[in-house]
Structure 1
Amino acid sequence: MSMNASSLTLPLSLYVHLPWCVRKCPYCDFNSHAAPAQIPQREYIDALLQDLENDLPDVRGRSLGSIFFGGGTPSLFAPEELGRLLDGVRAYIDFDPDIEISLEANPGTIEHGRFTAYRAAGVNRVSLGAQSFEPAHLQALGRIHGSGDIARSVEELLSAEIENFNLDLMYGLPGQTLAQSLADLEAALALAPAHLSHYQLTLEPGTVFYHRPPSLPDADLIWQMQLECQARLAARGYDQYEVSAYARVGRRSRHNLNYWEFGDYLGIGAGAHGKLTIFQSGKVQVIRTLRTRMPRAYLKQAPAERRCERRLVPGEDLAFEYMLNALRLMEGFEERDFEVRTGLGVAAIIPTLAAAQQRGLIEPSASEKESLRWRPTEFGRRFLNNLQQMFLPK
Structure 2
Amino acid sequence: MLTATPPLSLYVHLPWCVRKCPYCDFNSHEGRGALPFEPYVDALIADLDHDLPLAWGRTVQTVFFGGGTPSLFPAAAVDRFLQAASSRLRFAPGLEITLETNPGTAEHGRFEHYLAAGVNRLSFGIQSFDDGCLQRLGRIHDSREAEYAVKLAQDAGFDNFNLDLMYALPQQTLAMAERDIERAIALHPAHISHYQLTLEPNTLFAAKPPAGIPEHDDAWDMQERCQAMLAASGYAQYEVSAYARPDRQCAHNLNYWRFGDYLGIGAGAHGKLTLGSEQSILRRWKVKHPAEYLAKAGSAEAIGGDEYIAPERRPFDYMLNALRLNEGFSLASFEAGTGLDRAVIDERLNTARDRDWLSIDGDRVVPTELGRRFTNDVIAVFLTD
Same-fold call, TM cutoff 0.5: yes
Alpha-carbon distance in structure 1 between the residues aligned to 2:255 and 2:131: 35
Alpha-carbon distance in structure 2 between the residues aligned to 1:40 and 1:17: 14
Alpha-carbon distance in structure 2 between the residues aligned to 1:388 and 1:235: 29
Aligned equivalent of 2:74, options 62, 73, 78: 78
Given the superposition, is the C-alpha separation of residues 306 and 118 from structure 1 closer, same or farther in structure 2, using an over 3 Å criterion? Answer: farther
Question: Which residue number corresponds to residue 363 of structure 1?
Answer: 359
Alpha-carbon distance in structure 1 between the residues aligned to 2:277 and 2:296: 31
Q: Does 1:272 align with 2:297?
A: no
Alpha-carbon distance in structure 2 between the residues aligned to 1:178 and 1:131: 15
Alpha-carbon distance in structure 2 between the residues aligned to 1:324 and 1:349: 14
Q: Does 1:287 align with 2:282?
A: yes
| CA-CA distance at 1:372 after TM superposition | 1.1
Aligned equivalent of 1:256, options 253, 256, 259: 253
Alpha-carbon distance in structure 2 between the residues aligned to 1:260 and 1:231: 24
Count residues with an aligned counterpart. Answer: 383
Identical positions, percent: 54
Q: State the TM-score, normalized to the length of structure 2.
A: 0.98
Show CA shifts across 1:58-111 (max 9, x none): 111111110000000000001001100000001101110020000000000011
Show CA shifts across 1:155-181 (max 9, x none): 111111110000000000011110000
Alpha-carbon distance in structure 2 between the residues aligned to 1:345 and 1:303: 38
SS at match of 1:280: helix
Alpha-carbon distance in structure 1 between the residues aligned to 2:103 and 2:127: 10
| CA-CA distance at 1:375 after TM superposition | 1.3
State the one-letter code of the partner of 1:105. T
Moved more, 139-148 or 297-306: 297-306
> Where does structure 2 lack aligned partners over 5 or more consecutive residues?
none
Question: Which residue number corresponds to residue 389 of structure 1?
Answer: 380
| CA-CA distance at 1:303 after TM superposition | 3.5
Question: Which residue number corresponds to residue 295 of structure 2?
Answer: 300
Aligned residue runs from structure 1 range 27-42, under 5 A: 27-42=23-38
Alpha-carbon distance in structure 2 between the residues aligned to 1:307 and 1:44: 13
Higher relative contact order (CA 8 A, sep 6+): 2
Alpha-carbon distance in structure 2 between the residues aligned to 1:234 and 1:266: 34
Alpha-carbon distance in structure 2 between the residues aligned to 1:8 and 1:307: 29
Show CA shifts across 1:258-303 (max 9, x none): 000000000000000000011235xx31100010111111111163
SS at match of 2:313: helix
Aligned residue runs from structure 1 range 106-145, under 5 A: 106-145=102-141
Alpha-carbon distance in structure 1 between the residues aligned to 2:248 and 2:207: 37
Alpha-carbon distance in structure 1 between the residues aligned to 2:270 and 2:183: 34
8 A Cα contact 1:270 1:298, kept in partner = yes
Alpha-carbon distance in structure 2 between the residues aligned to 1:211 and 1:302: 33
Show CA shifts across 1:4-46 (max 9, x none): xxx4231100000000000000000000000021110010000
Alpha-carbon distance in structure 2 between the residues aligned to 1:233 and 1:322: 28
SS at match of 1:168: strand
SS at match of 1:176: coil
Alpha-carbon distance in structure 1 between the residues aligned to 2:155 and 2:247: 21
Show CA shifts across 1:127-182 (max 9, x none): 00000000100000000001111111111111111100000000000111100000
SS at match of 2:100: strand
Given the superposition, is the C-alpha separation of residues 302 and 130 from structure 1 closer, same or farther in structure 2, using an over 3 Å criterion? Answer: closer
Q: Does 1:190 align with 2:186?
A: yes
Question: Which residue number corresponds to residue 218 of structure 1?
Answer: 215
SS at match of 1:349: helix
8 A Cα contact 1:292 1:298, kept in partner = yes
State the one-letter code of the partner of 1:342. T
State the one-letter code of the partner of 1:199. Y
Alpha-carbon distance in structure 2 between the residues aligned to 1:324 and 1:149: 36
Alpha-carbon distance in structure 2 between the residues aligned to 1:42 and 1:36: 16
SS at match of 1:13: strand
Runs (4 or more) in structure 1 with deviation over 2 Å come to: 302-309
SS at match of 2:299: helix
| CA-CA distance at 1:307 after TM superposition | 4.7
Aligned residue runs from structure 1 range 90-239, under 5 A: 90-214=86-210, 215-239=212-236
State the one-letter code of the partner of 1:33. H
Q: State the TM-score, normalized to the length of structure 1.
A: 0.95
State the one-letter code of the partner of 2:286. R
SS at match of 2:22: coil
Alpha-carbon distance in structure 1 between the residues aligned to 2:55 and 2:108: 38
8 A Cα contact 1:54 1:307, kept in partner = no
Alpha-carbon distance in structure 1 between the residues aligned to 2:146 and 2:168: 20
8 A Cα contact 2:296 2:302, kept in partner = no
State the one-letter code of the partner of 2:116. A
Alpha-carbon distance in structure 1 between the residues aligned to 2:247 and 2:315: 29
Given the superposition, is the C-alpha separation of residues 107 and 343 from structure 1 closer, same or farther in structure 2, using an over 3 Å criterion? Answer: same
Question: Which residue number corresponds to residue 344 of structure 2?
Answer: 348
